[in-house]
Amino acid sequence: MLPVDNHVHSQWSFDTDGQGSMAATCERALELGLPAVAFTEHVEWTDWLADDAIAAGPLTLDWWEKIRPLDVTGYLADIEQCRERYKPLRVLSGVEAGEPHLFGASIAGLLSTGPFDRVLGSLHALPHKDHLVGAEQLFYLLDDGEDEVMRRYFAELVRMIEGPGQFEVLAHLDYPRRYWPSGPAAYDEAVFEEEYRAVLRALATSGRVLEMNTKSPLASVSLLRWWREEGGRAVSFGSDAHRPWLVGGRFDLAVDIVEAAGFRAGEDPLDFWLR
Ligand SMILES: [Zn+2]
Ligand SMILES: [Zn+2]
């Protein structure tokens, strides 16, 4: 059986431009034979609370003009409807919380309006010269090379994991890799082994789960083995689909990679895969 898709966006995420129908996504998931999907809608912030870590610094929040608050009531009503309508598919609720270390209090407030079955933590934007800046922008803004973008990203990711924000699963751990410039040097995980291991060690110490993100270039078997070696116990699969037809994308390949690294499906299909 295919794993649960624990990272899917619907029309309730501000960056799907009204085209991420939750109902159509459930229909596609049933067709594929997925046991469950989690609608982990984007939560990013254009303001902060006094208790958020970001309040202590001079950062400006102007990095993504699309950001809108999540309509939790409307979203949860839609989840309920899909649960009724698309049995035996299990429909899980969730959020993808951006920069949780900077917005710990805001995220805690949002989660209290739940229930949310899955909480992903994501680093999409980094502090740079008094601004929060989209990670992909750093390839243009930093003049000390693309390797430096990845190193800055991994260092911030460790701060995120060790920070105060609540989340269970680390989403797309090498997110800027999606935007790696085409040129003579292809992206090579091995160049960043030390940085990956530092992130994975911090993640394992915190007892969290690593995501196999199938929208990003797929992680290698070696990378999943580093996760085991650093103490990691659990893997979550996520298509990061923003359109219905992308749910469960490349899960066949992802399953082969995760199995080759020594992780197996749990007893309950809703479980994360365990070593
Ligand atoms: Zn994301
Ligand atoms: Zn996402």
Which residues have CB atoms below 5 A from the ion given as ligand 2? Answer: 96, 240
Token representation of residue 90: 């299990």
pLDDT at 94: 98
Model confidence over 159-216: pLDDT tens digits? 999 999 999 999 999 999 999 998 878 999 999 999 999 999 999 999 999 999 999 9
Cα(96) to centroid(ligand 2), Å: 6
Task: Please state the pTM of the whole predicted model.
Answer: 0.97
Token representation of residue 173: 């751990």
pLDDT at 184: 78
Pick from 271, 270, 272: which is nearest to 35 by CA?
Answer: 270
Task: Report the percentage of the chain scoring pLDDT > 70.
Answer: 100
Which ligand has the shortest distance to the CA of 124?
A: 1
Cα(12) to centroid(ligand 1), Å: 14
Cα(96) to centroid(ligand 1), Å: 7
Model confidence over 115-146: pLDDT tens digits? 999 999 999 999 999 999 999 999 999 988 89
274 to 170, 172, 180, 220, 248: CA distances (angstroms)? 15, 18, 31, 17, 19
Which residues have CB atoms below 5 A from the ion given as ligand 1? Answer: 122
Give the helix/strand (H/E) hosting 147.
Answer: helix 146-162
- Evaluate if residue 264 carries a pLDDT over 90: yes
Cα(9) to centroid(ligand 2), Å: 6
Model confidence over 203-262: pLDDT tens digits? 999 999 999 999 999 999 999 999 999 999 999 999 999 999 999 999 999 999 999 999
State whether residue 191 is helix, strand or coil.
helix
Cα(12) to centroid(ligand 2), Å: 12
- Evaluate if residue 18 carries a pLDDT over 90: no
Cα(81) to centroid(ligand 1), Å: 25
Cα(43) to centroid(ligand 2), Å: 10
Helix/strand/coil percentages in the chain, nearest 5: 40, 20, 45
One-letter amino acid for residue 243 of the chain: R
Cα(149) to centroid(ligand 2), Å: 20
Give the helix/strand (H/E) hosting 201.
Answer: helix 193-205
pLDDT at 173: 98
Task: Report the percentage of the chain scoring pLDDT > 90.
Answer: 91
Question: Chain-wide mean pLDDT for the chain?
Answer: 96
Please report which confidence band the pLDDT of residue 62 belongs to, taking 50, 70 and 90 as the band edges. confident
Cα(215) to centroid(ligand 1), Å: 10
Sequence-separated (6 or more) residues with CB below 8 Å from residue 143: none
